Structure 1
Amino acid sequence: MNDDLPDARDGLTQPERVVLKVLHDVQRERQGRHVPTLMLYGRVVEIMDMSQHEFQVILNRLGVRAKG
């Protein structure tokens, strides 16, 4: 199975799904507060191998915006 192929159900790749799941989990841990990008990346790479570039591309594709 290729992780880069989008799922027919929702169009998400496996890495995108992992990022969204981890983001959801960390937001719950932080009681809805902002999740720092570095914290999110650290949690994601605990689950799967992902470069910083790939992570940033996924965030951009998902429309995640930095708070500033």
Structure 2
Amino acid sequence: MAMDRSDALAALNNLPDVRDGLTRIERIILYVLNEAQQERGGRSVPSAMVYGRVLEYVDIGEVELQHYLDRLGVSGR
């Protein structure tokens, strides 16, 4: 049974990187969060803003994003 493109991308999104253990989605979230914090002068970034920007890179639900934020230790509430 061959993998189609969407299955392969889903597998890559959830595969931890050997260097630091972060998945592609976790890395995107941290990148987006850092960029938004810099734009806001180091202030907190609302979860809704992070969610909107993360959606530009990967299709993810709000609950799934909150799961990742919790896992990364980001206070999103």
Tell me if both proteins adopt one fold, taking TM over 0.5 as the criterion: yes
Match of 2:52 in 1: 42
- The alignment status of 1:17 with 2:33, answered yes or no, reads no
Query: Across the two proteins, how many residue pairs are aligned to each other?
Result: 67
Gaps of 5+ in 2: 1-7
CA RMSD across the alignment: 1.3
When normalised by structure 2's length, the TM-score is 0.80
Give the distance between the partners of 2:30 and 2:71, measured in 1 at CA.
12
Task: Give the unaligned 5+ runs of structure 1.
Answer: none
Q: Percent identity?
A: 51
1:66 and 2:49 equivalent?
A: no
Identify which range, 48-57 or 18-27, moves more after superposition. 48-57
Name the residue aligned to 1:33.
43
> Which digits, 9 at most, give the CA deviation of each residue in 1:7-60, with x for residues without a partner?
000000000000000000000000101100101101110121111121111001
TM-score by length of 1: 0.90
Of structures 1 and 2, the one scoring higher in RCO (CA 8 A, sep 6+) is 1
Q: Which structure has the greater CA radius of gyration? A: 2
